[in-house]
Amino acid sequence: MGIHEPIENLGEGKFLRLLRRGRWEYAERTNTAGAAGLVAVTDDGRLLLVEQPRAALQKKCIELPAGLVGDEAHFAGEAFAQAARRELVEETGYEAKHIEPLCTGVATPGMSNEVITLFLATGLKRVSTQLGDGHEEITLHEVPLRDVDAWLGARTARGEAVDVKVYSGLYFLLRRGLFPR
């Protein structure tokens, strides 16, 4: 792939543009600054995970709570941490007393330019039972950290999808001594 080859626009939607440079096809995020994901742990040691149907997979997927940053006009210019707080409430019904960045990186570098920042969310308080923004079908799972490996293994054994960022989140919990061995 030559970085100087022309880019061909193959199609565009509200949030994605499909491009080709040489033989390489990829998706580019539009109308957003990136994504914010949360490794959210309750005071009693439960990891908050969400389950959503994903069209690309044609099944439901277990994921960290996450969402796009600045994807709507009224969110233009919002900070990643602000978007993380908003998405946590929207997808789980929990607010976090503390949010701190863990890492920033690319999600699928061979297919997309999307950048995601993961945050650790602690000091959680339930503020709502409403999940999603009205267009989402979200199921919340509050999984005890001591059981999360077995729980994820059982979901995978049933043929369900698990977003690899869940395992990245567990790495950061282990590294900080928050994940029981």
What pLDDT, on a 0 to 100 scale, did the predictor assign at position 73? 53
Mean pLDDT on 72-93? 82
Residue 29 has pLDDT above 90, yes or no: no
Residue-averaged pLDDT of the chain: 88
What pLDDT, on a 0 to 100 scale, did the predictor assign at position 152? 97
- Is 180 part of a structural domain of the chain? no
- Is 181 part of a structural domain of the chain? no
| Co-location of 163 and 101 in the same domain | yes
Provide the whole-model pTM: 0.89
| Co-location of 85 and 49 in the same domain | yes
Mean pLDDT on 16-43? 89
pLDDT-based confidence at residue 107 (cuts at 50, 70, 90): confident
| Co-location of 111 and 143 in the same domain | yes
Three-state secondary structure string covering the chain: CCCCCCEEEEEECCCEEEEEECCEEEEEECCCCEEEEEEEECCCCEEEEEEEEECCCCEEEEECCEEEECCCHHHCCCCHHHHHHHHHHHHHCEEEEEEEEEEEEECCCCCECCEEEEEEEEEEEECCCCCCCCCCCCEEEEEEHHHHHHHHHHHHHCCCEECHHHHHHHHHHHHCCCCCC
Counting the structural domains of the chain, the total is: 2
Residue 47 has pLDDT above 70, yes or no: yes
Domain containing residue 64: CATH number: 3.90.79.10
Query: Angle at Cα 94 formed by Cα 45 and Cα 131, nearest 5°?
Result: 120
Please give the residue range of the domain that contains residue 8: 1-30
| Co-location of 26 and 38 in the same domain | no
